[in-house]
Chains A and B, each alone.
Chain A
Amino acid sequence: MEFVLFLITAFITIGAAAAMVLSHNAVHSALWLVLNFFGVAVLYLLLNAPFLAMVQITVYAGAIMVLFLFVIMLLGSEKGEEVNGLPWQTPVALVLGLVLVSIAGYAILGADSPAIAAAPATDTQIGAAEAVANSLFSTYLLPFEITSVLLLVALIGAVVLTIKSREREGART
């Protein structure tokens, strides 16, 4: 049962990712990516990480993708690639991608690595909000605090970038 669910979700996730890369409209790409994020959230649930699955949906599928859609529609750049300056790049990228996935497949499935070939641990409580919070607020307290500084820097950076360009446009006219 769990394996069937995994197969279906994996299929949807890969299909959504491929459709994101292939679709010509950037808005469609963003919506396919949202479907992909939902698929990954279901996989997190299968991997005993319910809290992380909810964070994935709220932060990735909610906040980040809304920001993406907002900017796409603000710039009106959903069809922004009629010009392709490097036409030979597409087949080379496909070949190199195939090489990359076969090397990864050989490393993961071919070689019997003891790290991932053994049966997974059966502890189903590792992803509960309580366990995550215990670890996040004790062992990883310093990185957690630094993360808030990082977010502040990103906030100030985004504001400064937009203000600068407005000033420059004002000076030009």
Chain B
Amino acid sequence: MVPTDYYVMLSAILFTIGVIGVLTRRNALVVFMSVELMLNSANLALVAFSRQWGHVDGQILTFFVITVAAAEVAVGLALLVGIFRTRRTTNVDEVNTMRG
């Protein structure tokens, strides 16, 4: 059986890749995907802890995280489409004013 700390370490590595993606990429859609990667790595840690304690609570929390991620993607992509309509770009450096 694979020890839990290996899974948590894998989750930390995936989370860090997501952080680097958010910090370095300029396409708002790729930044968004990196956020999804970070949420996903947190889910992996939760499921690993769920197995560690033989309890289903971590998996239930993962369900709620997936639901919140789905809602966040719907609203976030609608926002991106709205931004693209007015500014014709998804580059986060060029979207630097609040006025449309």
Question: Which residues of A does B touch, CB under 8 Å?
Answer: 2-3, 6, 10, 13-14, 17-18, 20-21, 26, 29-30, 33, 36-37, 40, 43-44, 46-49, 51-52, 55-56, 59-60, 63-64, 67-68, 71-72, 74-75, 77, 80-81, 83-86, 89-90, 92-94, 96-97, 100-101, 104-105, 108-109, 115-123, 126-127, 131-132, 135-136, 139-140, 143, 147, 150-151, 153-155, 157-159, 161-162, 164-165, 168-169
Contacts and interface: CB of A to CB of B under 8 A. Distances in A.
Nearest to A99: B16
A71 to B, nearest CB: 5
Nearest to B55: A126
A47 B48 contact: yes
Nearest to A59: B66
- Label chain B's interface by main secondary structure: helix
Contact of B21 (A3, A20, A117, A150): A20
Interface residues of B, number: 77
Nearest to B77: A71
Interface in B45-74: 47-57, 59-60, 62-64, 66-74
Nearest to A153: B71
A101 B75 contact: no
Nearest to A75: B84
B81 to A, nearest CB: 6
Given A36-B37, A132-B56, A108 B9 contact: yes
Contacts of B60: 132, 135-136, 139-140
Interface of B: 1-10, 12-21, 23-30, 32-34, 36-37, 40, 43-44, 47-57, 59-60, 62-64, 66-75, 77-82, 84-86, 89-91, 93-94, 100
Which interface residue of A30, A48, A108 has the most chain B CB atoms within 10 A?
Answer: A108
B59 A150 contact: no
Given A71-B80, A83-B91, A132-B59, A101 B69 contact: no
A127 B33 CA distance: 27
6 contacts: A49-B50, A60-B40, A122-B1, A126-B54, A132-B56, A158-B78
Contacts of A72: 29
A26 B79 CA distance: 18
A154 B30 contact: no
A125 B74 CA distance: 33
A111 to B, nearest CB: 10
A126 B59 contact: yes
Given A17-B37, A68-B77, A104-B12, A81 B25 contact: yes
